[in-house]
């Protein structure tokens, strides 16, 4: 009989919030928000179905400005009018005692939905990107300061809406990631150039968010998500060593957790090291913050094993497939955790039809290594 108690043990985060177990629902932008970014019944039903999937639930990326939207159906936390819907979302997420966190972001050069409206997008530097039909415009110093303030305002709204925390989205090639990457950041002012200067924007956003959190709610959870390394064919991007340097600085900012964004499995390691990302980051961060690991955790056994790689194990696609992941472990029913979508389970998942089709078509497999299986 496997003892799953380590997964079910509560965790007190850096600033005092207690999460009821070691499982998190990874941020996943799955259901459509309204065209103005307001919360819809689809967003609520998606979380209604998943209020027991994990002890910490992270709602997928919400934009901090109308000019930062990657997808048309993206949630927004950019204006006060969004608070009413976000309050319903937070209540739904918390209804069974889990903590509710909102991921906040700006898509930078990837803000294709904003491009369709405003005819331009902004980024650290003007340069062409493979797969983008337009070139972004370089941000001015004043605009950079405005976006930093917008992350703070988004945090204020998340607090007013009743969220327990925010996750700063510094991953997946969006604006904060773009500032840290030597590929997308070609600036020579205080926001780019050396490794230290490429850290300036991520750090400024963290400081602004923390300033609001500390003032408004002392145990408000602040997490930071990043991709451990960006390997670009031309040798730019950023290395895992550079990430570790950023993480070291971030871990001194009283953050509650550092979340590694990985697609290739929770045991993944850097191209030039056999040490798994999660273990290397935990060794560096120590007790300064919790480390959250993710990817290809499909069973209770894998979730338990995940605790060797981080303090909290996040579920991405598994949270879509099995809405009762944590609840089943708690009830001693870990053997009955669903690992695929079936005709029987599909109607209870509150997932959009096209996503169910994608998951059941064989095009997506949780067990394939690498990134190529994510056909979103």
Ligand X SMILES: Cc1cc2nc3c(=O)[nH]c(=O)nc-3n(C[C@H](O)[C@H](O)[C@H](O)COP(=O)(O)O)c2cc1C
* Positions in the binding site for ligand X (CB under 6 A): 26-30, 60-61, 103, 169, 171-172, 225, 261, 263, 294-297, 315-318, 374, 376
Q: Rank residues 61 and 187 by Cβ distance to ligand X and give the closer one.
A: 61
Nearest-angstrom CA–CA distance, 51 and 48: 6
Minimum CB distance to ligand X, residue 193 (Å):
27
Nearest-angstrom CA–CA distance, 61 and 339: 25
Could you count the other beta carbons within 10 Å of the beta carbon of residue 116?
A: 11
Per the CB < 8 A criterion, the answer to whether 312 and 23 are in contact is: yes
Q: Rank residues 31 and 192 by Cβ distance to ligand X and give the closer one.
A: 31
Instruction: With CA atoms as reference, report the closest residue to 59 among 85, 32, 93.
Output: 93
Instruction: With CA atoms as reference, report the closest residue to 193 among 182, 204, 201.
Output: 182
Minimum CB distance to ligand X, residue 361 (Å):
14
Minimum CB distance to ligand X, residue 27 (Å):
4
Minimum CB distance to ligand X, residue 354 (Å):
10
Minimum CB distance to ligand X, residue 13 (Å):
19
Per the CB < 8 A criterion, the answer to whether 226 and 171 are in contact is: yes
Q: Rank residues 40 and 219 by Cβ distance to ligand X and give the closer one.
A: 40
Q: Rank residues 67 and 267 by Cβ distance to ligand X and give the closer one.
A: 267
Q: Rank residues 192 and 226 by Cβ distance to ligand X and give the closer one.
A: 226
Q: Which residue sits closest to ligand X, CB atoms considered?
A: 316
Per the CB < 8 A criterion, the answer to whether 68 and 114 are in contact is: yes
Minimum CB distance to ligand X, residue 288 (Å):
22
Minimum CB distance to ligand X, residue 349 (Å):
13
Q: Rank residues 110 and 192 by Cβ distance to ligand X and give the closer one.
A: 110
Could you count the other beta carbons within 10 Å of the beta carbon of residue 277?
A: 26
- Give per-residue burial for 220-243: e unless 16+ CB within 10 Å, then b: bbbbbbbbbbbeeeeeebbbbebb
Instruction: With CA atoms as reference, report the closest residue to 75 among 169, 164, 173.
Output: 169
- CA angle in degrees (0–180, nearest 5) for 326-330-335: 80
Could you count the other beta carbons within 10 Å of the beta carbon of residue 97?
A: 10
Q: Rank residues 184 and 192 by Cβ distance to ligand X and give the closer one.
A: 184
Q: Rank residues 284 and 366 by Cβ distance to ligand X and give the closer one.
A: 366
Nearest-angstrom CA–CA distance, 347 and 231: 40
Minimum CB distance to ligand X, residue 126 (Å):
26
Cα dihedral 204, 225, 346, 333 in deg (nearest 10) = -130
């Amino acid at each position: 009989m496997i003892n799953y108690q380590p997964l079910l043990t509560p965790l007190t985060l850096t600033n005092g919030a207690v999460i009821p177990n070691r499982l998190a629902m990874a941020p996943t932008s799955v259901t459509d928000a309204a065209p103005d970014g307001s919360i819809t019944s689809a967003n609520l039903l998606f979380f209604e179905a998943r209020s027991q999937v994990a002890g910490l639930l992270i709602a997928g990326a919400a934009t901090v400005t109308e000019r930062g939207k990657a997808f048309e159906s993206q949630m927004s936390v950019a204006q006060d009018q969004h608070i009413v819907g976000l309050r319903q979302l937070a209540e739904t997420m918390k209804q069974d005692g889990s903590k509710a966190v909102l991921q906040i972001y700006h898509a930078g050069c990837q803000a294709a939905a904003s491009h369709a409206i405003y005819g331009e997008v902004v980024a650290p530097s003007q340069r062409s990107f493979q797969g983008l039909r337009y070139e972004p415009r370089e941000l001015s110093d004043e605009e950079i300061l405005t976006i930093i303030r917008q992350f703070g305002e988004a945090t204020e709204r998340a607090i007013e809406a009743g969220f327990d925390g925010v996750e700063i989205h510094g991953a997946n090639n969006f604006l904060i990631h773009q500032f840290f990457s030597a590929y997308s950041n070609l600036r020579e002012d205080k926001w780019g150039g050396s490794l230290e200067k490429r850290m300036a924007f991520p750090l400024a956003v963290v400081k602004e968010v923390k300033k609001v959190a500390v003032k408004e709610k002392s145990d408000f959870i602040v997490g930071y998500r990043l991709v451990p390394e960006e390997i670009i064919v031309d040798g730019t991007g950023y290395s895992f060593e550079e990430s570790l340097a950023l993480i070291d600085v971030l871990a001194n900012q009283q953050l509650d957790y550092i979340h590694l964004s990985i697609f290739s499995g929770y045991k993944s390691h850097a191209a030039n090291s056999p040490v798994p990302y999660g273990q290397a980051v935990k060794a560096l961060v120590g007790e300064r913050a919790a480390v959250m690991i993710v990817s290809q955790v499909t069973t209770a056994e894998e979730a338990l094993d995940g605790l060797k790689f981080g303090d909290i194990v996040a579920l991405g696609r598994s949270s879509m497939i099995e809405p009762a992941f944590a609840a089943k472990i708690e009830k001693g029913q870990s053997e009955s955790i669903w690992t695929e979508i079936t005709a029987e389970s599909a109607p209870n998942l509150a997932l959009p039809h096209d996503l169910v089709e994608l998951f059941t078509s064989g095009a997506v497999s949780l067990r394939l290594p690498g990134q190529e299986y994510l056909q979103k």
